[in-house]
Structure 1
């Protein structure tokens, strides 16, 4: 009786057996690649530990605190989803959430429209570098300084008020009191536009000039050049900056606090966004004082909103790259 023949795909040395020093796709793994694989974790581990300690840990703690009533000192009391139910019935949170959406969509639309307009205006300007530096300047200054300067322009007895007084307008409007939220939004547009002009202009600079020359020879208008050349070829930049604005707009805090607040008081609740709502409930801006659990519930809602919006934006802005 003859012995069974071993399958060449399974016997040692056959093509089906795994061999040391070879990848799954059949290619050999070089010693350099093996050394790089061994060095991967030692370099990644410190950053991973810091990220876990300062990002993942506090986030999980916020979820846990949001399910309790806690003043930061005494033991926590379990409340379940009560804090989230109270948020749904809190008119101040409704105002804060609405203001946040206004910043996200309204201020964001103004920032992007102004950024594209300035980009196209500066594209062929002789002193574009100097002009771009002037426009970018507010983006590198502290928001607290910008808020003080913005308040100096619009507060009572400020620059605008003095100009109107000099023009003999006795019944001049109180801009800071009557239109505080509008002034705050305009200030955020001024503060944010420079950064996005720089990013969008960097994308526009990568477009070959001959495309614009061909459009001019074909008699295309400025709007047609923007619609059919600039906009499609800067789509990747637009998608990236949209996500950047979504995340940053939901975290705007210091500009509103410094502009609308005073030394001892927070700004009026009509100008609160979700970040100020969290701060006001955590550090005693509202009664009862130090509502850490309630503020953590608002923080959880804000985090979930950011995640959902970023995922939706990434899906909506996904498209194939345009080949030149």
Structure 2
């Protein structure tokens, strides 16, 4: 499936947790492949501009027109927005946008979604022009892993709105809301929960450590401190890797080969611990079992010996 289509669907689902579907439309601004800490491979990121319904401009054409107005017939906004047609009259569009600019706060980007026209008496026509706005915070960013079909995270700018207007949610309420919305796995450990005020607004910043039989990773989230809307979410939770043990020696063989390799490189008089099981290769996405031992040289320096069946590697410990 096209990653833009999948990301766009998720972006719409996120906004629909707080808004009606007719209230907004999404416009792709940027897409790229990027790397993130804790994610084994590059993933797809899409940035969308969020266009929101701003209101209706009423413009009459023909005999005895009423004065143009914005906003007008606010109770019909959603109805007309759902059935409007693309505008064909540039002069009508320009007039409607001029009306909207005079009525709306500065700093908004404006455009028309469409026009609904109604016939009136004596050949007159009333045009309802649907105006859309995009605020400076009107962006939603989606991170998606197409290969693993994983929804990694998002940032939703509009959900920061109103975060400082009144008292913040309690810690328990913020945690409960996040768990319900994000589906935090049972048994996850809450490692961080604090209120932070930044340039975007005031949020509850939360983090869970996930370490279950089947999954491992972390979930981070920022919630609007007043409304509880999830503004930011990112997850590195993934199925727990199944270790490849092919070719890995037994404990006795690993101990013997580590000792031989250490003496060949470092000389005699070494103190070598008994090897213990570990795993390597997580960064490549192909983890495998291994043995690790600690070596103390006569000069008191410590070395780490790793044996994964492909040979013994020694590394000086910091």
Higher-RCO chain (CA-CA 8 Å, sequence separation at least 6): 1
TM-score w.r.t. the length of structure 2 is 0.20
Larger radius of gyration: 2
- Between Structure 1 and Structure 2, the one with more strand by share is 2
- Between Structure 1 and Structure 2, the one with more helix by share is 1
